[in-house]
Chains A and B, each alone.
Chain A
Amino acid sequence: MGPLNGVTIAIVLFGIGLLGLILRRDLVVKLLALGLVNSAVILCLVALGARPDGAPPILAPPSVDAIVDPLPHAIVLSAIVINFAILALALVFVMLLVERYHTTDANRIDRASNDEEDEWS
């Protein structure tokens, strides 16, 4: 029953994040939603390796046999750093856009930049 609870919560969070990404217009909120989506996948990975009576993956004497699966933890480490990098750079870009267009509304920025480039005319 262990992984099921964790994964269910993770997928529900993933869904909430997706909804936030689609339905909210503010760019900063979109980035938060993206962060939620990424964190949900991380939760899912960690929950998958869990065991009901699991011990942390350290080879200290009493609990060597019941350690949880250590590979998802190693995977998650990389995933966390990658998500951090994406969030930091995306925030910098949002700041540059806000300075230029004076709004955080994705639709307005889209229209303004299309008008600038005069593409679909």
Chain B
Amino acid sequence: MLTIGLTHYLVLAAILFCCGLYVMVTKRNAVGILIGVELVLNAAGVNFVALARYGPAAVDGQIATLFVIVLAAAEAAVAIAILVNYYRALVTIDADQGDQLRG
């Protein structure tokens, strides 16, 4: 059997991160971008937990993960608020339509 070590968790976090990044970058739907943001944040959380289990610091990682989750929630709330305002202004949630500041 394959011994599941730190590396595997880190790789998993990296893959999650890349997926999240990909979703952030390619989605036109603003909600989709926010989903991508959640993915990235959760990837960071997995990273922290893995390092807490297998790394030097024992509990700090888990505490950091709790922070990440709270922050993600707060940030999601703010992002939804922005999105609501965005929708109010532009009557769409297409991120590409918000190019009024284009030079």
Whether both chains belong to one complex is answered with: no
Chain B positions within 8 Å of A, measured between CB atoms, are none
A residues sitting closer than 8 Å to B (CB atoms) are none
